[in-house]
Amino acid sequence: MAFSALKMPDAKALVLALILCYLLLGVSKGKLRAGFYSQTCPKAESVVKSVVGQTALANPRIPAILLRLHFHDCFVEGCDGSILIENGEDAEKNAFGHQGLGGFEEIDNAKSQLEAICPGVVSCADIVALAARDAVVLSKGPFYEVQTGRRDGRVSSKSLADDMPEVDDSIQLLKSKFSKKGLSDKDLVLLSAAHTIGTTACFFVQARLYNFKGRDGACDPAISPQFLPELEAKCPKNGDVNERIPLDIKTSETFDNEILHDIKDGFAVIASDARLYNDNITKQVIDSYIDPSSSFERDFVASMVKMGGIGVKTGSEGEIRKNCRAFN
């Protein structure tokens, strides 16, 4: 039937149908937004929060572990849960840059609970992002709205993790790796400041202490003479490389800007943090956040939201996994 032959009620119905179709097409393209699951799975965020909180009671390291997991997920194929996949030796999680990564059981736990109440709705990628936010809050850091609506990726390969930032990267290389992900030098400082909570293994400190730039017995001159004996005592030359030490030597379980003071004063534990004070731009950023009244927390949140949007799959892209460790 031609449109001109329609009666008025039919014409209105067709127009409304076209509008609805347009809106649905807009949704299929997809954009992240806060409260994405408010109608489809209202308890999504509270379930993740509960899992993070309960696990942290038994293991105080969990907040830092979950925050790191989100960073590592976003920095490879984008924030799409690819870091969770177990597909043999080639799995992304087996890349050198992901050594020591954890939090997988906590994500599995949250996913299992969510599948029980709203199956096939909440993506693993969103669970990772929400858990990171809850980890920050649990460490007395700022609350922020997580934009959700990510879908899970269908690719996982350790060869794709070659551009992960490494502890021994130069400041130029660190800036380049962040820039490739659309992140600024300011974002580099703020996201590195997430090291205000958590620990690292002595394995990642050995070169700074005993083999700086490949010179046997040489230590990194950026380490303060006051701090050097303490760091050597915690990570002796022939000691256990798996021994864990705080990245923030004063307030390792509290989210604050103390790590920036450490970096400025030569008390950075890992080389990549220390290198931030070698560059005029990142040095100025650090100095701007030393004051307790600075906008550090607000700007950290902005960088986290920005990072959380890297390479996301939305709308009809990707999938919603039933099991976070396997493609559907």
Query: Is position 73 annotated in a ligand binding site?
Result: yes
Rounded to whole angstroms, what are the CA distances from 262 to 226, 250, 259?
12, 9, 5
Asked about 72 being catalytic, the answer comes back as yes
Instruction: Count Cα neighbours of 111 within 13 Å in the Cβ-side half-sphere.
Output: 24
78 is annotated as contributing to ligand binding: yes
Which burial class, exposed, middle or buried, applies to 88 when counting CB atoms under 10 A from its CB (0-12, 13-18, 19+)? exposed
- Judge whether 251 is annotated as a binding position: yes
Q: Residue 192, annotated ligand binder?
A: no
Phi, psi of 279 (to 5 degrees): -115, 135
Instruction: Give the closest residue to 101 by CA, choosing from 80, 128, 141, 133.
Output: 128
Give Dmax over CA atoms of the chain in angstroms. Answer: 90
273 marked among binding-site residues = no
Calpha distance 191→166 (Å, rounded): 14
182 is in an annotated binding site: no
Do the annotations mark residue 256 as ligand-binding?
A: yes
Round to whole Å and give the CA distance between 224 and 235.
Answer: 16
Would you say 80 is a known binding-site residue?
yes
Catalytic residue selected from 70, 72, 98, 261: 72
Closest CA to 83 of 126, 136, 125, 32: 125
Instruction: Answer yes or no: is 98 a known binding residue.
Output: no
Which residues does the annotation mark as catalytic?
Answer: 72
Residue ranges at the known binding site for Ca(2+):
73, 76, 78, 80, 82, 92, 196, 248, 251, 256
Residue ranges at the known binding site for heme b:
195
Residue ranges at the known binding site:
73, 76, 78, 80, 82, 92, 165, 195-196, 248, 251, 256
Residue ranges at the known binding site for substrate:
165
